[in-house]
């Protein structure tokens, strides 16, 4: 599935991922390939990205925490998420 993370400043990440976990207002939840459509508010926490080959642009690498070669976390304060047609869009603050 495609993940796009957008902040007020720029698009921080766009690429193919195997899963993404987000801090929803009712608790953390994860989306995998072909997840049902969903729209949710996000709270303070980490967006957890898992992918085979994660390519983050140089100017945004410092915003992410690298867990291992296939997992990165992005701390956020709030936001919204939409999953539709196998594309996840995170609007993060």
| Per-residue pLDDT band at 16 (split at 50, 70, 90) | very high
CA pair distance 72, 33, nearest whole angstrom: 18
CA pair distance 32, 21, nearest whole angstrom: 9
Taking only the tens place, the pLDDT of each residue in 21-67 is 999 999 999 999 999 999 999 999 999 999 998 989 999 999 999 99
According to the model, what pLDDT value does residue 10 have? 95
According to the model, what pLDDT value does residue 81 have? 98
Instruction: Tell how strand 2-6 and strand 87-92 pair up.
Output: parallel
Please, which residues have CB within 8 angstroms of residue 21's CB and are 6 or more apart in sequence? 28, 29, 30, 31, 47, 48
Where is average pLDDT lowest: 53-57, 80-84, 85-89?
A: 53-57
According to the model, what pLDDT value does residue 41 have? 98
Please, which residues have CB within 8 angstroms of residue 29's CB and are 6 or more apart in sequence? 21, 22, 40
Q: Please state the pTM of the whole predicted model.
A: 0.95
Each domain of the chain, given as residue ranges in start order, spans 2-92
The CATH class of 2-92 is: mainly beta
| Per-residue pLDDT band at 19 (split at 50, 70, 90) | very high
Residues 22, 34: contact at Cβ < 8 Å?
Answer: no
């Amino acid at each position: 599935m495609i993940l796009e993370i957008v902040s007020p400043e720029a698009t921080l990440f766009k690429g193919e991922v195997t899963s993404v976990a987000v801090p929803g207002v009712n608790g953390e939840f994860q989306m995998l390939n072909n997840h049902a459509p969903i729209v949710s508010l996000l709270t303070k926490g980490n967006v957890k990205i898992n992918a085979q080959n994660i390519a983050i642009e140089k100017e945004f690498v410092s915003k992410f925490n690298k867990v291992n070669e296939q997992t990165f976390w992005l701390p956020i304060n709030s936001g919204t998420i939409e999953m539709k047609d196998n594309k996840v869009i995170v609007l993060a603050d």
